[in-house]
Amino acid sequence: MFKTPGIIASILLLATSGMALAEDVELRFSWWGGNSRHQATLQAIKAFEQQYPNIKVQAEYAGWEGYLSRFTTQIAGGKEPDVIQTNWNWLPIFSKNGSGFYDLRQVAKTLDLTQYDPESLNSVTVNNKLNGIPVAMTARSFYYNKKLWEEMGVAYPQSWDELKAAGIAFKAKNNNSYPLVLDYMESLTLLHSYMAQKYNIPAIDEKTGKFNYTAAQWEEFFQLYKDLVDSHVFPSKRVLASYGKANTWEMKPWINGAWGGVYMWNTNATMYENSLQPPYNKLELGPFFMLPGAKDAGLFFKPTMMFSIGRTTKHPEEAALLVNFLMNEPEGIKAMGLERGVPISDKAYQQLLQDGTIQESSIAVAGLKSFMALPHNIPTSPYFDYPQFVSLYHETIQKIDQGDFTVKEAASFFAKNAERILKRAMK
């Protein structure tokens, strides 16, 4: 049947409109954080939608409280968002075999992986599948309250023995002052560094699903903890408990400058500094010491957080476009700033350095440069950060501090229960 030009034009218009509709994509993007992170990310999304007008992004954001619980429900039902801000220690929970998230190497033509050093990508690779892009990397360094150390007349420690000697020197001057204040996670990672330096092995062998430490090495692990407490290097759990359940940076001795420093993530160091009251309100990066002959610093080296793509996404390429925009493209980099830490994307770092957002004099940047320059080839397993494992360590050192366990008893109790936790976690 003959069709008039007007009818043909209408058919073509409808066909064109249908094609346009078929190309439109909506992505869900979830993250946690405070208001400043929310506003920065929303600004980045707005810029992304302007650059890619066929892609709309539904923002799903909240504070930390309840975020993991909600995400667990989503992923169990196969309804997780397309792009997700994730935590490194979630990999053992959601992606034991590497298939819990979309393999980002499948979208490497869209997502520029060349901006990241291989080691940082390896830290979030499970079974040869890249489960996320690390936004920033972090490790713990020593940050000291400069004025207090000067008043104590003690030089920053350059060795493990000097660290113990500093504790004794502080106690001689003031029984309520310590060189460091460490919560249980900080002391756990400090002991981890010592063992890696001495034995040049990771704590966990993920291939065998077992810890690498012998019974004697576990005893040495907890003996070091007791020695550091007995040397007055940091307050015991009993002392910390006397200040209530507040975070250590909120406790009066820290705020007033009676505690001399922290062994802290570079990303959190400024938070500790900002809570200090004058004249003790200046932290300084201290030397990171290693045992003589050590080949590795034993850093607890991990991503601060990641951007992952949901395993069930129907739009992996578009999701990769969004992640790449946030991490590697000028407008996204500018909008995101330092809301998730000092970025390790080469492009992002250089752009924020040039525009003055990154101040190389800050302790966060100084810490980053310091630990990146240290040998850190021994991998840290996310199972070492597994909640039940960390809780067991906390319980064990409490029993040491309360006198309920000898070091030998603590080592035996911990080793037996840690193996059970790891076995269940890696099933």
Q: Could you tell me the pLDDT band of residue 123, with boundaries at 50, 70 and 90? A: confident
Q: Could you tell me the pLDDT band of residue 341, with boundaries at 50, 70 and 90? A: confident
Report how far Cα 200 is from the mean position of its chain's Cα atoms. Answer: 23
**Rounded mean pLDDT, 396-404:** 96
What gap in Å lies between CA 69 and CA 173, rounded to an integer?
A: 47
pLDDT at position 137, please? 86
Q: Could you tell me the pLDDT band of residue 414, with boundaries at 50, 70 and 90? A: very high
What gap in Å lies between CA 234 and CA 25, rounded to an integer?
A: 54
pLDDT at position 7, please? 42
Domain residue spans of the chain: 25-135+302-362, 137-298+375-424
Sign, Cα dihedral of 101, 107, 110, 112:
positive
Q: Quick check: do 25-135+302-362 and 137-298+375-424 share a fold?
A: yes
Percentage, residues of the chain above pLDDT 70 = 95
pLDDT at position 246, please? 84
For 281-307, write each residue's pLDDT tens digit: 999 999 999 999 999 999 988 898 999
400 has pLDDT over 60: yes
Q: Could you tell me the pLDDT band of residue 187, with boundaries at 50, 70 and 90? A: very high
* 142 neighbors 285 (Cβ within 8 angstroms): yes
For 147-179, write each residue's pLDDT tens digit: 999 999 999 999 999 999 999 999 999 999 999
**Rounded mean pLDDT, 268-283:** 91
Looking at per-residue pLDDT, the higher value among 364 and 130 belongs to 130
Q: Could you tell me the pLDDT band of residue 267, with boundaries at 50, 70 and 90? A: confident
pLDDT at position 81, please? 97
**Rounded mean pLDDT, 122-137:** 93
Mean pLDDT score of the chain: 91
Q: For residue 143, which phi and psi values (nearest 5 degrees)?
A: -125, 125
User: The tokens of 70 are what?
Assistant: 């909600």
Strand-pair partners of 83: 29, 309
Architecture of domain 137-298+375-424: 3-Layer(aba) Sandwich (3.40)
1 has pLDDT over 50: no
What is this structure's pTM? 0.81
Percentage, residues of the chain above pLDDT 90 = 77
With respect to CATH, is domain 25-135+302-362 assigned 3.60.21.10?
no
> Which H or E run contains 135?
strand 133-138
For 5-56, write each residue's pLDDT tens digit: 444 444 443 343 343 344 799 999 999 988 989 999 999 999 999 999 999 9
For 192-246, write each residue's pLDDT tens digit: 999 999 999 999 998 888 999 999 999 999 999 999 999 999 999 999 999 988 8
What gap in Å lies between CA 170 and CA 247, rounded to an integer?
A: 23
